[in-house]
Amino acid sequence: MNKILTKDVFTPSSPAKLNYVFRKEVNDQLFDALYTSGKQVVVFGYSGSGKTTLVRNKLDQIYSCYIYSQCIKETSLNSLLLDAFDQLNPFYISEQGNKVTIKITDEIGVKFQNISLALKNENIKENSLKKVRLLPPQLTVQNLAKFIGNIKACWVIDDFHKVRPEEKQKIAQVMKLFKDVSFDYPDTKIITIGAVESAKEIVNYDKELEERLEQIHVPLLSNTELNNIIEKGAKLLNLNFTPTIKNKIISLSNNLGAVCHQLCLNMCLPRGIFQTRDNSFRFENEDLHYTIERYIKSKSGSLSDLFDKITMTKRTRSYENNKIILKAIIDLNLESVSHSEILAKIKESHPSYPQGNLTTYLKKLSNFGIDEEVLYFNNSTNKYSIRNPFFKVFAAMRFHQETSMGNNTFNINVNTGDISIKGNIHIDHADRIKFDIDSIE
């Protein structure tokens, strides 16, 4: 049996390759869009739904190469153009000693070399805060599209949702220009990857792009797809996850592939499983208990920050809306809850709470931040659920702590879908958490 590294099978922080789960509907839609000349693509969905994994696996099948740029809040169109140009260097220029030669010796290659030389010529603007690379006048969007087209590549712009609005509008215009070069370079296109509102934003910025833009929504993973991740990984590493443990991992993952990968990886490492085993290894319930304890402890800092961010009010209001709503959802302790159920629970403690407030703040919590959707709204059931089941556990713990009269050790019972986690939590004066699980049912 070939030995495969565990970290290459369960990949919570990078796109899955060996353990890639094929998703037919979105895969077919993406293939059609990539195959259609001039069609620009936006792939959107909730964080953790597998957007980047889908795109990169499909591109590896269709393209021999592609340019990949990842956005942050400070990303500008100019920085994206420079990043893409830098990645093109290996395709156009090779260095042998001190001699630079053009790999593609046509007019496009010569033009590329001229821009490259301009960039090397101290093309930097300095101020008291930072250095900024200036864009040579020759490095236009049209020229970049031709450079990418000449090597039969495409350009992926990931995390589009993080970019400032004024830069998003420029990127939308660039996508339109890439569409216009499709006659000469039919394989060249831009694929943007972003959060739920990304497709709507691009269309709003440039209405003319709508007919040439394929909008691909990547839903959260189904329970079957999560089960496939576990079973495929088990086969690659010669492991045995019992049906009970698989069901609990699936429930805790809350339809997020990244969480499923993380839990499986965390079960392997304490057992010293770093590669494919010669003999099959069977996990027990204790392994899952320990994994959950480790996971919550490792995430306690970020979960605490998110809780404080949600419940903090910038100015005095009649109601602490986010806090009231979140507590009501947790107190209901159901897998998913409707608007009316949340409102009824709130009115038990706040009889005059306005229905309009609930509607407004449920929407905000469903799109709380760039990568921090607190709630997930299921369009088919018209119900809300807390996105991260571990955040649900943590928030329940914090609310319990606030009402426990200074007692920092207490029991907790939180329903996270098909299972219930019961345990004992202690918080010390430095907000360090110790979470001992009594049972997972």
Q: 249 and 110, same structural domain? A: no
pLDDT of residue 426: 53
CA-nearest of 67, 84, 82, 148 to 119 is: 82
416 assigned to some structural domain: yes
Q: 290 in a domain, yes or no?
A: no
Please name the helix (run of DSSP H) or strand (run of DSSP E) that holds residue 44, with its range, or none. strand 40-44
- Asked whether residue 72 is assigned to any structural domain, the reply reads yes
What is the reported pLDDT for 391?
Answer: 82
Residue 155: phi and psi, rounded to 5, are: -125, 120
Q: Are strands 420-427 and 433-440 parallel, antiparallel or unpaired?
A: antiparallel
d(CA 331, CA 338): 14
CB 56 within 8 A of CB 15: yes
Q: Is 188 exposed, middle or buried (0-12, 13-18, 19+ CB in 10 A)?
A: buried
Instruction: Decide if 35 is inside a domain.
Output: yes
**What DSSP string runs through 354-368?**
-HHHHHHHHHHHHT-
If asked whether residues 113 and 75 sit together in one domain, one would say yes
Claim to verify: residue 369 and residue 244 sit in the same structural domain = no
Instruction: Identify whether residues 322 and 402 lie together within a single domain.
Output: yes
Contact 421, 413 (CB under 8 A): yes
**Does 273 lie in the same domain as 232?**
yes
To the nearest 10°, report the CA torsion of 363, 364, 365, 370: 120
**Do the strands 409-415 and 420-427 form a parallel or antiparallel pair, or are they unpaired?**
antiparallel
Q: How many domains does the chain contain in total?
A: 3
Domain hosting 99: range is 24-217
> Do 137 and 239 fall within a single domain?
no
96, part of any domain: yes
Angle between helices 77-92 and 141-150 (to 10 degrees): 30
330-349 confidence digits (pLDDT tens): 888 777 899 999 999 999 99
CA nearest neighbour of 177 among 142, 146, 144, 211: 142
Q: What's CA 180's distance to the chain center, in Å? A: 30
Q: Which of 163, 191, 217 is the last residue of a domain?
A: 217
pTM value is 0.74
Residue ranges of the chain whose pLDDT lies below 50: 95-102, 124-129, 370, 405-410, 417-418, 427-433
Say how far apart CA 24 and CA 14 lie, in whole Å.
Answer: 21
Last residue of a domain, one of 188, 217, 246: 217
Kindly list the distances between the CA atom of residue 106 and the CA atoms of 189, 228, 392, in Å, as whole numbers in the listed order.
22, 48, 59
Same domain, 186 and 234: no
Domain of residue 150, CATH code: 3.40.50.300
CB contact at 8 A, 3 and 278: no
Nearest partner of 119 among 74, 86, 95, 150, judged by Cα: 86
* Contact predicate 42/196, CB 8 Å: no
CA distance 276 to 273: 7
Question: Of 260, 402, 387, nearest to 323 (Cα)?
Answer: 402
- Considering the domain architecture, whether residues 195 and 244 belong to the same structural domain is answered as no
